[in-house]
Amino acid sequence: MFGQKNILDEECKCYQNERYLWPAHKMNKENAKYLLSTIKNVFESNGITFILSYGTLLGAIREHDFISHDSDMDTMIWQKDFQKAWDLIPELEKRDVHLHCYVLPWIFTFEHKGETCDIDVLQEAIWPWNKRYCLTHLEYIQKSFFENTSTIEFLGETYTVPANPEKVLEYHYGKTWRIPSNTTGRIESYVFFWRYAYRFYQRCIRYAKRYWFKKK
């Protein structure tokens, strides 16, 4: 499963390791800290940019800690680094960090002692959106949010974050993101619309190309 075959060349695939099925729960911060730190150190030592995102970024900026009601961690890598990250799975296994689940090529998740860390793969959008936008498994998002990055001190280590994290958090959670809430608060209604509109556009382009080449 962890061979050198380029995963991104395959059709979308799903996997769930039944050994690591966990219900939503209160996060064990020590285990979560170990998981996040281990992935970061392994990835960064191999030249992969590992970026905090969503609820983990919100906690790091607003509370300088994990959000008290959060049940997992959220991070991102660029598509160009995906194959390299995938090939590091055996190295993470040696550190008691296990592959939990994936929906390729959009997202994959690691687990350590019941805590999980999602890794979104930032995909290159196609024309005409590719200059300004990229895709995650959830949304269509401005590429500039993640093209420029900075670092912050979080849980005793240095982590990579968007250069303007406040702007990213406002985009995801609205202008009230600084006010703690017991819900995710993520703005998702229009996000899913654009996600499926984009997929429809991709399908149209694919069929148009097939028709064009058949005619020629």
Question: Which tokens in the block code for residue 34?
Answer: 């170990």
Q: Are 114 and 31 in contact (CB under 8 A)?
A: yes
pLDDT, tens digit, 9 for 90 and up, residues 62-104:
999 999 888 899 999 999 999 999 999 999 999 999 999 888 7
Rounded distance between C-alpha atoms, residue 118 and residue 45, angstroms: 19
| AA identity, residue 168 | V
pLDDT reported for residue 194: 57
pLDDT, tens digit, 9 for 90 and up, residues 148-206:
999 999 999 999 999 999 999 998 888 899 988 766 555 444 454 555 566 666 667 77
CATH number corresponding to 7-187: 3.30.460
pLDDT band for position 140 (cuts 50, 70, 90) = confident
CA 127 to chain centre: 22
- Which residue would you say has higher pLDDT here, 138 or 118? 118
pLDDT reported for residue 58: 95
- Which residue would you say has higher pLDDT here, 2 or 35? 35
pLDDT reported for residue 23: 53
Least confident range of 31-35, 39-43, 161-165, 179-183: 179-183
- Which residue would you say has higher pLDDT here, 130 or 70? 70
With a pLDDT cut of 90, the percent of the chain lying above it is 50
pLDDT reported for residue 11: 44
Least confident range of 69-73, 121-125, 132-136: 132-136
Q: Are 142 and 133 in contact (CB under 8 A)?
A: yes
Q: Are 8 and 99 in contact (CB under 8 A)?
A: no
pLDDT reported for residue 4: 36
DSSP for 46-102 reads TT---EE-HHHHHIIIIISS--TT--SEEEEEEGGGHHHHHTTHHHHHTTT-EEEEE
Task: Indicate whether 110 pLDDT > 70.
Answer: yes
Task: Indicate whether 211 pLDDT > 90.
Answer: no
pLDDT reported for residue 29: 95
> How far from 101 is each of 1, 8, 83, 116, CA to CA, in Å?
13, 16, 16, 10
